[in-house]
Amino acid sequence: MVFLHGLGEQAAGWEPVAPRLAGTFRVVALDLRGHGASDRPGAYSYELMRDDVIGVLDALELSEVVLVGHSMGGVVAYLVAAARPERIARLVVEDAPMPFPRRSVVRERPPGELPFDWPVVPAIAAQTDDPDRRWWPLLRDIAAPVLLIAGGPTSTIPQDELHEVARLVPDCTLVTIPAGHHVHTNEPQAFTRAVLDWLAR
């Protein structure tokens, strides 16, 4: 089971759920480029992060992977699953559609040292606000079964976008846990139970 975090976060953010899942799976949590202990090359995009993750899967010779992604990491997970279906057995995406038309407001850089490279924020925000929905057709190419966990009405993500994802992915189960955008930290037990119950089917 490979975890991909959201924007501005890092692998350690999965600690509320990773130990519970480590009893069933070998768990690998990655710091995506520009975050945590990973390099800060200054070049950031969903495609580059996709390629980084594929590089890790190839280097570790991981197959039959359950790929779990939250927010930005969820978009990366969709792209990995579409590009390398032979590596991905199941896909779990937490409260993330593909990029869609929205007005992203990038705040000013906070003062002090950050656990991520600030330029990743405007770079990913620019791609997340996608008026052309150019990646949505890739959802039809995802061969792995997908569990899409929605955060419900208090989430910052329009939930109708998640319903559209579920309509387009060939094999998608949509589960709503009304905990906001950060389901795995706000309701870790419910998140873990939803994942394990779905994987057991």
pTM: 0.97
pLDDT band at 101; cut points 50, 70, 90: very high
Average of per-residue pLDDT values in the chain: 97
Tens digits of residue pLDDT in 14-28: 999 999 999 999 999
Q: What is the pLDDT of residue 17?
A: 98
Report the pLDDT value the prediction gives residue 114, as an integer from 0 to 100: 95
* C-alpha span between 33 and 39 (Å, rounded): 6
pLDDT range class, residue 151, cuts 50, 70, 90: very high
Token pair, residue 144, equals: 């792995």
| pLDDT tens string 162-186 | 999 999 999 999 999 999 999 999 9
Do 74 and 95 meet the contact criterion of CB atoms below 8 Å apart?
yes
pLDDT for the residue numbered 155: 98
Dist. CA 159–CA 165, nearest whole Å: 10
Residues 6+ apart with CB under 8 A from 194: 147, 149, 175, 177
Residue type, 173: T
CB atoms within 10 A of CB 127: 18
Query: What pLDDT shows up at residue 107?
Result: 85
Q: What is the DSSP letter of 108?
A: P
Residue 105's pLDDT band (boundaries 50, 70, 90)?
confident
Neighbours of 180 (CB within 10 A): 17
Closest by CA position to 86, among listed 56, 113, 124, 58: 58
User: What pLDDT was estimated at residue 106?
Assistant: 85
CATH class of 2-200: alpha beta
Rg of the chain's alpha carbons, rounded to an integer?
16
Q: Where are the domains of the chain?
A: 2-200
Task: Please state, in angstroms and rounded to a whole number, the distance separating the CA atoms of residues 187 and 158.
Answer: 19
Provide the percentage of residues in the chain whose pLDDT is more than 90: 97
Q: In the block, which residue shows the tokens 């589960």?
A: 175
Residue 67 has pLDDT above 90, yes or no: yes
Which long-range contacts does 106-112 make (Cβ < 8 Å, 24+ apart)?
none
What are the C-alpha distances in Å from 147 to residues 35, 82, 91, 138, 176? 25, 15, 6, 16, 11
Exposure of 125 in the CB half-sphere (CA atoms within 13 A) = 11
